[in-house]
Structure 1
Amino acid sequence: MRKRTLGKNGPVVGALGLGAMGMTSGAYGVSDRAESIATVHAALDAGVTLIDTSDHYGSGLNEMLLAEALRGRPRDGYQLSVKFGALTGPGGGFNGQDNRPVAVKNLLIHSMNRLGVDHIDVYRPARLDPAVPIEETVGAIKEMIDAGYVRHVGLSEVDAETIRRAHAVHPIADLQIEYSLISRAVEDEVLPTLRELGIGLTAYGVLSRGLISGHWNPAAEAPGDHRGRMPRFQGANAEHNLALVEALRRIAEAKGCTVAQLAIAWVAERGVDIVPVVGARTRKRLSEALPALDLELTADDLARIERAVPRGAARGDRYPSAFMSGLGVGN
């Protein structure tokens, strides 16, 4: 697999990242632990090195699963991107964010223990904490870098101003933010700021939680699947958005690829400073995603895609309204 560098100061990683959120039961229904571990192994064997998780996923169970999957693998053969600070309520849902310096250090040691590692490659707050200046949070991570427990500072879902403030404290390796054919607000101010400062972008949601994968079927949605609460997956919005997927399917068929491969390739084509992160829960979905890196999109292909799914074509916000206010950019 080809490599990409997360900004001027970040690690060299495989050109495709693996998101582990769906590998523990919860947001996407019940997961298969054995298949999740096999998928991590298959990803590493294929050259994927960047694995993204959070202390919020499964209230730490996600990190413990990764510890099992990574056991025996050379530590220099993969990079762990860990989001921290998202608080979990008794029901398992998001319950705020804690980015205080004391929390940064406390949460870090718990993540390292669950993952079974002596350092984290990229450590980032999952969201902004309105009660804590970003300078204080990044300053605390910098202390952990100086102590040898963290290699790089990352950010997640913040705006251009916050990126500048954080970068002034310590060089930022990358920003993790949603970026896909139907989520392009990052192109306005955030992406130009990243490129000005030499910061990479790890793009999650490249398939919009499966909406533009070509596989999502509302009738087959698992009980408890959080997509049922997402505006883009609801009612008339879903019908409209699935029509966009069918337009992409026609382009993909002419190109000899799948809809998912087309959507991943589109994100990868936006720049060598961007690493798409796919949330594959099975080896089947991973094996579909991997060839997207070799898919060449011509100027004509890109123009056809733009006509089929112009910016702003999707209906519905990417998160429920209560969560949108905490994000750095819109849709």
Structure 2
Amino acid sequence: MAKKMTGMYIILAVLILTVAYFSLTSGSFAVRPGELLSTLFQINPNPQYEILLFDLRLPRIVLAAIVGLGLGIAGAVIQAVTKNGLADSGILGINAGAGAGIVGFMLIFQGQAKTTTLAAAMGTPFFGLIGGLLAAALIYMFAWHRGNLDSGRIILVGIAINSGFSALTLFLSLKMDPQDYEMAMVWKNGSIWSANWTYITAILPWLLVFIPVLFAKSRLLDTIRFNEDTVKSLGISSNKEKTILLISCIAIISACVSVAGSMGFVGLIAPHIARRLAGVEHRYILPLSGLIGMLLVLCADFAGKLFFQPAEVPAGIILAILGVPYFLYLLFKQKKAANK
């Protein structure tokens, strides 16, 4: 199994690097391979290419990869904790809650939440975390049944919460001046066109702290997929562990939403593909979900930039075009299995 997984990691890494290469060299201003190498390795670099690659394209690629990694891993954990293959941070309303918190921050500080100052960039995830935690608290409140999370209620509650926070976000956006409103709407649709190294610096600490927490509990995730009585018989405090896992996921998601907006369906699609490739062990599912999430966001951003020139379509919209049919397919499949 280890050899098989190593091969999959290598294949995904090659695919990620290939998409990153084409994203670096393609666009309205093409870069030849020789110019790319000389600029990256600082061998007689052209100042114009340095600005294009290091200030514009490379931060965008790195940010897309980091966001995909975080959302893919968080999605796999959320599905394991809720025992629901349809669970996703976007569908459950966590993205919308985090987004509402961040738009509130943007409104309070008159659009300064998306400036390139490190203090502002570091501040937005905290407001996103508050909104995400509020969404999670509402999920707990309405989906809690007989001392446990009812996986059957989670999706319905999540859809309602998603709608509510989306309406709140729109209401807050309408209070902004036109320039800030336009910026908020572009960001809300899941766009990383304004990526810079400051955003990357702001998001990295969150992922470096909370992703290892999730990896450390990968064996626990294998256990909690059983019924609650079995989990408790093993001496595991199920609700406590689930709370730690969900808070870690919400922290990661909030950080990702703060710099890239709502990237829906990454946390739904990536874990499903990972489970098909890796089976049921989360020590393999989590890294695989992260790599697949990376690839999805990179491909979505590249497609939105390349195929709609001179305009750009936000990566979040491309992911929604792919994700909605996939969600309906999974919903139909789950309903069909339940009727048997």
Same fold (TM over 0.5): no
More relative contact order in 1 or in 2 (CA 8 Å, sep 6+)?
2
Whichever structure has more strand as a proportion of its residues is 1
Whichever structure has more helix as a proportion of its residues is 2
Structure index of larger Rg: 2
Q: TM-score by structure 2 length?
A: 0.27
Q: TM-score by structure 1 length?
A: 0.27
